[in-house]
Amino acid sequence: MAPEALSLLLLLAFLLLGLYRRRPKARLPHPLLALLKEAAREARGPLPWLPTALFALGLLLLALAATRPLLPLPGRTSENVAVLVLDVSRSMMATDLKPNRLEAAKEAARAFLRRAPRGLRVGLVAFSGHAQTVHPPTTDRKRLLESLESLEFGRSTAIGEGIFEALRHIREAGGKGEILLLTDGRNRTGADPLEAAGEAQRMGVRVHTVGVGVPGWTPGPEDPLSAFGFFAGAYEVDEELLWAIAELTGGKSFLVRSEEELSRVYLELAEGMGLEVRPQEATGLLGALGGALALLGVALRRYLSPL
């Protein structure tokens, strides 16, 4: 910043004093004085002070721009990493989301990759009873799309392991990133998910959680889940756990009931990925706005007082 430029405000004050003109009082009575005053008011228009106010505001912004101020503005950063963490346990075969939960998650991930900033590095981690890296963070969208197709189902659910694996990649990439976790079940093995969320909080990594499934839905005779026999019901999302993970890390939590809703959630998250609010110099912004207002004030003054 250049605070010494605030001295320009003194010049602005003197300029405004110069623009202010006292109207001379009538020394002699005139029989048409009231009528003349009314005609003068109508000639000046409904807002005679507006041109001067806009001009003064424009000069004020120009003076502030000269100080090279820093404002907290949102901006993209190429340092961030996003890791998609997908549950591939057998319950993801459920067909309450069409054609099944995993395929709906894949389609939502494709939408995410299409909408996310091109410079954002995206990684893919899959978990069932353990977590594995399907693809490390990269900007190569084609390779990521190919990796999505290679996902295979596994046994059990280890949510904490999935978060820890994603954190490992973010740490190796510089420590800045976000995690998008999708699951349809409860943690059954591996590390404590809240312990993993605590580590994410210490690293400053937000974990966004998405629980998928339709409450009350159960597999029919033709559903792939019926072959395993141990599903009393197909909705086992641990809503409290997912909310706690997101709350602890500053992320967002969603419960999704349809494939359309799932895609919307991923698109919403893609918009904010790689976006950070940090101090940025606003000289150009304030200068452009101030110049535009000053010119508008001059133009209005000419329009309202053409002679």
27 assigned to some structural domain? no
In this prediction, residue 53 has a pLDDT band, given cuts at 50, 70 and 90, of: confident
For residues 35 and 203, what is the distance between their CA atoms, to the nearest angstrom? 74
For residues 125 and 283, what is the distance between their CA atoms, to the nearest angstrom? 42
pLDDT score recorded for residue 60:
74
pLDDT in tens, 69-112: 666 555 445 568 999 999 999 889 889 999 999 999 999 999 99
- Indicate whether 56 and 166 sit together in one domain: no
- Indicate whether 272 and 295 sit together in one domain: no
Contact, 166 vs 83, CB < 8 A? yes
Reference 183, options 244, 78, 256, 276; nearest CA is: 256
pLDDT score recorded for residue 2:
54
- Indicate whether 227 and 256 sit together in one domain: yes
Better pLDDT: 133 or 61: 133
pLDDT score recorded for residue 139:
93
User: Is cis: bond before 99, omega within 30 of 0?
Assistant: yes
Q: How many independent structural domains does the chain possess?
A: 2
pLDDT score recorded for residue 307:
47
pLDDT tops 60 at residue 14 = no
Reference 85, options 174, 186, 146, 169; nearest CA is: 169
29 assigned to some structural domain? no
Average pLDDT of the chain to the nearest whole number: 81
- Indicate whether 291 and 161 sit together in one domain: no
Tokens of 137: 């963070």
Q: Which range among 49-58, 168-177, 223-232 has the greatest average pLDDT?
A: 168-177
- Indicate whether 208 and 294 sit together in one domain: no
Rounded to the nearest angstrom, the gap between the alpha carbon of residue 143 and the centroid of all alpha carbons in its chain is: 26
Contact, 289 vs 247, CB < 8 A? no
pTM over 0.75: no
- Indicate whether 154 and 291 sit together in one domain: no
pLDDT in tens, 272-297: 886 555 556 667 777 788 778 777 77
- Indicate whether 191 and 104 sit together in one domain: yes
- Indicate whether 205 and 293 sit together in one domain: no
pLDDT score recorded for residue 218:
79
Better pLDDT: 34 or 198: 198
Chain position carrying tokens 């395993």: 228
- Indicate whether 7 and 120 sit together in one domain: no
180 assigned to some structural domain? yes
- Indicate whether 48 and 166 sit together in one domain: no
- Indicate whether 198 and 178 sit together in one domain: yes
Residue 299's domain comprises: 3-22+34-69+282-304
Chain position carrying tokens 């390779």: 143
261 assigned to some structural domain? yes
- Indicate whether 146 and 268 sit together in one domain: yes
